[in-house]
Amino acid sequence: MGLRKLPKKTPGVGVSNIYRKALSEFRADFFTGKKKPCANTLKKWIERGDICGERIGNHYFVLVDARGEPIKSDTGNKDANEMLKKWRQH
């Protein structure tokens, strides 16, 4: 499946190097060893806003940067945090 670049008109996201990664692929690529969180845990993290992601139909995606690192919900920048919060609610 690979990384999918967000469409240019994604509401609230102006950064062009943010990608959607399928939840199962993110889990396999990002976590190593035997102690990987289950898919339901990752879905809860997305729903709670612990990591940035979205649900499209029945599929979950994690928002990652060009290196494959997840976009954190708390960026340390108040304006960026508000933008991400609004985008997740859209």
Distance from C-alpha of 89 to C-alpha of 79, rounded to nearest angstrom: 16
pLDDT digits (tens, 9 = 90+) for 19-63: 899 999 999 998 888 889 999 999 998 888 888 888 999 999 998
- Among residues 16, 11, 35, 25, the alpha carbon closest in space to that of 61 is found at 25
Say what the pTM is. Answer: 0.65
Q: What is the DSSP letter of 70?
A: B
